[in-house]
């Protein structure tokens, strides 16, 4: 499964959040980072990643937000071909 996470730094945690993005490349539970980008605008970063299933993805997200540095909005993504099936 592919996921897109929109990340926003917690108030006062901007530098810490951006530094923490470096650690996102080693996601737990069989998840894999496909790309992570610092952005300008409403969100501070956008990450595209995959996990074998929803339970694994939930574990990754709980670990990420448990540090209190970022809040996320995460969506499941799919290819146009999968959507049309």
Token readout for 11 is: 């108030």
Burial class (CB in 10 A: 0-12, 13-18, 19+), 41: exposed
Q: In this structure, which CATH number among 3.60.20.10, 3.30.70.920, 3.40.50.970, 3.90.1150.10 belongs to the domain 6-69?
A: 3.30.70.920
Confidence of residue 80 (pLDDT cuts 50, 70, 90): very high
In DSSP notation, 65-84 reads HTTSSEEEEEEEE--HHHHH
Query: SS3 string of 16-37?
Result: HHHHHHHHHHCCCCCCEEEEEE
CB 48 within 8 A of CB 2: yes
Q: In percent, how much of the chain has pLDDT > 90? A: 48
pLDDT in tens, 55-71: 888 888 888 888 888 89
Instruction: Give the start-to-end residue ranges of the domains of the chain.
Output: 6-69
Confidence of residue 18 (pLDDT cuts 50, 70, 90): confident
Q: Is the pLDDT of residue 52 over 70?
A: yes
């Amino acid at each position: 499964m592919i996921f897109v996470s929109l990340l926003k730094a917690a108030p006062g945690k901007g530098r810490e959040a951006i530094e923490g993005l470096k650690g996102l490349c080693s996601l737990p539970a069989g998840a894999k980072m496909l790309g992570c980008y610092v952005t300008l605008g409403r969100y501070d970063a956008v990450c595209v990643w995959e996990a074998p299933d929803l339970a694994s993805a939930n574990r990754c997200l709980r670990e990420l937000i448990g540090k209190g540095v970022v809040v996320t909005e995460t969506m499941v993504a799919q290819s146009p071909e999968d959507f049309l099936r």
